[in-house]
C-alpha cells in the first residue's frame, strides 16, 4: 500500500553543482538534510537530485532536459545555476559528464608549481598540468574562449532554454543562481562587464522574476543570487573559508523556494 501511494506522488527534480549535491559528504564533513530533501517533504514529492559537485551549466541543463523527457508525474523542476566560466563535456566512452572552471583550474595548477621544486631548485613535473582541466583551460585562455561576456551569454541562453522547455511541457519550474556567477577572486574586476552583458541581453525581459529567484542575479542591477543570502550571516555557511551552505543555509534555501513555489503554483 505504501509503495502504491509513493508511485502516485509527483516528482521534484533538482539540479546544480555543489550547492545541490551532498557537498558535506564529499568533503567527509558531518552531513545534514539538503534543501532539496526539506523541500520535497514540504511539497510531499518524490525527490530526484541530479546535482553534482563541479557541474557546469551545460551539464546541469542537459541532465534536466534528459530527465524531463524520460520521467512522468513531474510536480516541480528547480535549477540552481553555477559559475558561468565552467565548461562541460559529455564523454561517451565514460558515459558521464566532465566539467571544470577555465580560470580556477588553470590558475591553481600554475600556483602549485612552486611546490614542485626540489632541493636542487629543479622543478619536478606538476601532476595537475598533465590533467585534462588544466590542458583544456590553457587552450581556452590562449584563444580567449573564457571571456566573461561570452560565457554569460551562453548561460543566459541556457536559462531561457530551460524556462521554455518547462513551459512548453506545462511543467512547474523555478530557477536561481547559486554561487556568484564569476570567480570570486576576479568578481569585482569583472562585475561591470558582467552587468553590462545582462543589461544588453535580448533575454533580460524574457525571463520573469516570478519564477527566477533574484533575477537578474547581480546586485548592481537589482538582482541577487543564493550566495547573497548565505553571506549575510556566517551562520548560514560551513566556515569563513568554505562558503557552501551548512544546515541552516540549506534550511534557508528550502524556505525561499517553498515561498516562491506557493506564490506561483499553490493553486495548481
Read off the pLDDT of residues 233-247 as tens digits, 9 standing for 90 and up.
Answer: 889 999 988 999 999
Instruction: Please write the tens of the pLDDT for every residue from 28-83.
Output: 999 999 999 999 999 999 999 999 999 999 999 999 999 999 999 999 999 999 99
**Average pLDDT over every residue of 17-30:** 97
Cell of 132: 585534462
Tell me the average pLDDT across 216-227: 94
pLDDT for the residue 112: 87
Give the pTM: 0.92
Of the candidates 105, 75, 94, which has an alpha carbon nearest to the alpha carbon of residue 172? 75
| 35: Cα separation from own chain's centroid | 14
Query: Which set of grid coordinates corresponds to residue 218?
Result: 547581480
pLDDT in tens, 103-120: 999 999 998 887 776 555
Lowest mean pLDDT, pick from 110-124, 155-169, 176-190: 110-124
Distance CA 218, CA 38 (A): 27
Average pLDDT (260-265) is 97
Please tell me the total number of residues recorded for the chain in this structure. 268
- Which pLDDT value is given to residue 1? 45
Residue of 20, 29, 24, 28 lying closest to 54 (CA atoms) = 20
Amino acid at each position: 500500500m505504501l509503495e502504491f501511494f509513493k508511485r502516485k506522488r509527483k516528482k521534484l527534480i533538482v539540479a546544480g553543482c555543489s550547492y545541490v549535491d551532498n557537498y558535506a559528504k564529499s568533503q567527509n564533513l558531518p552531513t545534514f538534510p539538503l534543501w532539496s530533501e526539506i523541500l520535497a517533504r514540504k511539497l510531499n514529492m518524490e525527490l530526484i537530485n541530479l546535482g553534482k559537485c563541479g557541474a557546469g551549466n551545460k551539464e546541469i541543463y542537459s541532465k534536466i532536459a534528459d530527465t524531463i523527457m524520460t520521467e512522468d508525474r513531474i510536480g516541480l523542476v528547480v535549477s540552481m545555476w553555477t559559475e558561468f566560466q565552467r565548461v562541460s563535456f559529455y564523454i561517451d566512452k565514460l558515459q558521464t559528464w566532465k566539467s571544470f572552471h577555465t580560470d580556477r583550474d588553470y590558475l591553481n595548477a600554475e600556483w602549485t608549481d612552486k611546490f614542485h621544486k626540489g632541493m636542487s631548485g629543479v622543478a619536478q613535473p606538476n601532476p595537475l598540468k598533465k590533467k585534462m582541466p588544466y590542458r583544456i583551460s590553457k587552450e581556452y585562455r590562449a584563444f580567449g574562449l573564457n571571456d566573461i561576456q561570452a560565457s554569460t551569454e551562453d548561460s543566459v541562453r541556457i536559462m531561457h532554454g530551460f524556462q521554455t522547455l518547462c513551459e512548453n511541457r506545462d511543467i512547474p519550474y523555478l530557477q536561481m543562481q547559486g554561487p556568484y556567477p564569476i570567480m570570486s577572486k576576479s568578481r569585482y574586476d569583472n562585475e561591470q562587464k558582467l552587468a553590462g552583458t545582462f543589461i544588453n541581453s535580448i533575454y533580460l525581459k524574457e525571463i520573469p522574476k516570478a519564477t527566477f529567484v533574484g533575477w537578474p542575479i547581480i546586485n548592481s542591477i537589482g538582482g541577487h543570487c543564493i550566495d547573497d543570502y548565505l553571506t549575510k550571516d556566517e551562520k548560514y555557511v560551513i566556515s569563513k573559508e568554505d562558503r557552501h551552505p551548512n544546515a541552516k543555509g540549506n534550511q534557508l534555501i528550502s524556505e525561499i523556494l517553498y515561498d516562491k513555489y506557493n506564490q506561483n503554483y499553490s493553486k495548481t
